Structure 1
Amino acid sequence: MKKTISQARNLVFLAILAISTIFISSCEKTENQIKIRINQFKQTAVAPYGPVITLSAQQGDEIGSANWSAFYDQIVGFDYEIGYVYDLLVVETEILNPPADGSSKAYQLKQILSKTKVDESITFNLMLKNDLINYVKGDAVSGYTLLDEADIDCGNLCNEFANALQSNSKLINGKFVLNSDGSIKLVELL
């Protein structure tokens, strides 16, 4: 009888060990070191929860090209500063069973490979309005911001800018430069 109970305990122990091993391995994460280039400015984009300002990034073969993509995830340990192009080495972790509203990847800064100050005369384009989404907040009196994150200096284009935002135009883009104070200056409506 003692032998049968002992054998049963051993079988239960082995079953629990097997189930635990399967459960733990299904929750494992895979990690890769990748290079990411972060652009000098953030871009407007639409996330599942609404309009956002997000990092503009290149990865893999896109690095060095004219193609930049919205980068919705955070890079833990990375403190972004507008006006610089960064080359980063990050650890990308694939989360095999992410939460329903979460990303399937997590990013951790391993090393800043380079941080290059960009000349303030370099222009960049931003979407300001797209169909029903208006990324610009404020007015001519109180001032304009890009989703309350970046101040917009509309300079001598303020009247044209205000008219464009109030129009029925479905798409409004602007060409900008960076000001030394971190705000963005509108140089042309597109």
Structure 2
Amino acid sequence: MQNYNTPELDQITVTAADLSVVPAVAKLVERLLQRRHNGVDDYDIVVPESLLRQSEKTQQIFNIVMGAIAGLSLLVGGIGIMNIMLATVLERTREIGVRRAVGATRQDILRQFLLEAVTICLLGCLIGLILGLIISKAISFYAGWPTVVSVFAIVLAVGVSTLVGIVFGMYPAAKAARLDVIESLRYE
């Protein structure tokens, strides 16, 4: 054990893994210092709890803002998917009529367009995940900030993308499925 009773040492910083354990860690450090200093109170223990609490609040606000931005992005992306799928239904009206004329059911058409919408969303998700991982690694490398991408976050992204594809693809798919066969075949 090294002797730290030198005049050059005027501060020791202890970092806790979680804000909830800070009081317990402070008590532990105090007991340790009392024992090492033979009960002489020639030190101060400063726990900047207000800074820690403010940091936690700032993190919560940041998470809320990021969640709102993500939600808005999903809404805008979903509306974009719906518009693309509506344009696709219009462009492929004749094809839908031919498929229906040769035996495809309304359910077949509905499933086809829903699958296309979900596929577009999942491709967007894949691109987003790849870019997110690259940016995360770049932040870690250049800024020195630790970044963690959890499996849960990836699964959640895939699930939400699938849900967006289903929700925003349902209207265009239903519209395609409801097209009249005769009118669709006449469509130019």
Q: TM-score range by the shorter chain?
A: under 0.3
TM-score (norm 1): 0.23
- Higher share in strand: 1
TM-score (norm 2): 0.23
- Higher share in helix: 2
Greater relative CO, 1 or 2 (CA 8 Å, sep 6+): 2
